[in-house]
Amino acid sequence: MGELFHLLKKGNKSAMIAAIVNTIIAIAKGVAFMFTGNVAMFAETMHSIGDAANQFFVFIGSALSKKAPTDRYPNGFGRLVNLVLLGAVLIVGIMAYETIIEGYHHILHPTESGGFLINIGVLGFALILELFVLYKAMKEVMHEAGEEALGLSVIFKSFAHLGRAKPATKLVFMEDLVASSGGLLAIIAVVIAHFTGILWVEGAASILIGLMMFFVVGRVFLDNAAGVLGRADEEMEEKIGLLVMADPDVKDIQSLAVIKEGEDLHVELEIEIDPNLTIAAADDIKDRLLEKIIAEKGVTDVTIEFDEEDGVRTWNKNIEPKKES
């Protein structure tokens, strides 16, 4: 039990905050729907329930993925967060389906709902909370990307660096981006239906919200399916390649693989060195490279192998040949 609490402290904080906030929002929207019967409110209730459940599982998965390797699982539990996210998107998929079906029925048989001020008040309250969570996720994206951003610049820069965020943070970002957009869409639909009498617009809004939820399902599924399989991080490969080739004793790189498992990066490196070097000198090179590579953000383990220089350039990714002294 003590180990579990220790792991939970390492869980993704953005996901935990989002889970708590979306639980509050889901309760508020659910109560409003019971009083008003508004189909756009139903769509938003389903959306928030899906988000809250999803983000809670994400928090648990991100925490358990930090568990240290065991004899039975020597490669660790890094991919567990990807597996949890694959399961979590099923919840959102079911909610999205129900949201679309309810919206379709409302378009075919539109009914007038009451409680206009209740709907607007609850949706407005929820939108403010969702924007708060989204902004926190944006700041977390920038932190994980190792980039500086202040004020409103966080909003724009977070989109550019989203690909470098951890899977859990990326999911929270995308879900709350859709949630905020859906909340605004629901408010517009409620206002139009109330003042114009065009009741089917609420059903159309429900379908659009459901489709946005399906977009999140598709995007998250593809990202985490690749994570479960063990996706190569090409950007980090190039960065580590430059770092390794900058070492004066490294003649070439035979092979370099940076595999992303959950939030962890595993590096496998084979380099060419002067065959006349002593074992002690080669060991010094290994220690030097290991220290530099393990200092890179997200790298958890490094395997380095040696081969003798063959005079043929293998690694040529943006690398200029070293000048002979």
Q: pLDDT tens-digit profile of 141-176?
A: 888 777 877 777 888 888 888 877 777 788 788 888
CB 31 within 8 A of CB 44: no
Do 244 and 223 belong together in one domain? no
The domain in which residue 199 lies consists of: 2-229
Q: State how far the Cα of 246 lies from the Cα of 172, in Å rounded to an integer.
A: 38
Q: Which runs of E-coded beta strand occur in the chain?
A: 231-232, 252-261, 264-273, 299-308
Question: Rounded to the nearest 5°, which phi and psi values hold at 43?
Answer: -60, -45
pLDDT at 189: 92
Q: Distance of CA 33 to CAs 48, 49, 69, 113, Å?
A: 13, 13, 47, 10
CB 267 within 8 A of CB 303: yes
Query: What CATH number is associated with residue 142?
Result: 1.20.1510.10
pLDDT at 188: 94
Do 191 and 88 belong together in one domain? yes
Q: State how far the Cα of 132 lies from the Cα of 39, in Å rounded to an integer.
A: 25
Q: State how far the Cα of 100 lies from the Cα of 84, in Å rounded to an integer.
A: 25
Distance in angstroms between the alpha carbons of the first and the last residue of the chain: 59
* H/E stretch holding 230: none
CA nearest 188: which of 160, 208, 169? 208
Do 37 and 168 belong together in one domain? yes
Do 258 and 170 belong together in one domain? no
**pTM higher than 0.85, yes or no?**
no
Is residue 315 in some structural domain?
A: no
pLDDT at 198: 92
CB 214 within 8 A of CB 175: no
CB 106 within 8 A of CB 203: yes
82 CB-near residues (< 8 Å, 6+ apart) = 167, 224, 225, 227, 228, 261, 262
Is residue 320 in some structural domain?
A: no
Query: Which of 169, 204, 229 finishes a domain?
Result: 229
CA nearest 77: which of 264, 233, 240, 288? 264
Q: How many CA atoms lie within 13 A of 179 on its CB side?
A: 38
For tokens 């859906």, name the residue: 182
Is residue 318 in some structural domain?
A: no
Count of domains for the chain: 2
Do 134 and 107 belong together in one domain? yes
Question: Rounded to the nearest 5°, which phi and psi values hold at 232?
Answer: -75, 135
Q: State how far the Cα of 281 lies from the Cα of 115, in Å rounded to an integer.
A: 78
Is residue 247 in some structural domain?
A: yes
Do 180 and 274 belong together in one domain? no
Give me the tens of pLDDT residue by residue for the chain, a chain 325 residues long. Answer: 566 666 767 777 778 888 898 899 999 999 998 988 888 888 888 888 888 887 888 788 778 777 777 777 766 777 777 787 787 778 788 888 888 998 898 899 888 877 889 999 999 999 998 898 888 888 888 887 778 777 778 888 888 888 777 777 887 888 888 888 988 999 999 999 999 989 899 899 989 988 988 888 887 787 777 777 667 777 788 889 899 999 989 989 988 888 877 667 888 899 998 888 888 988 999 999 999 998 887 788 888 998 888 888 888 754 444 444 4
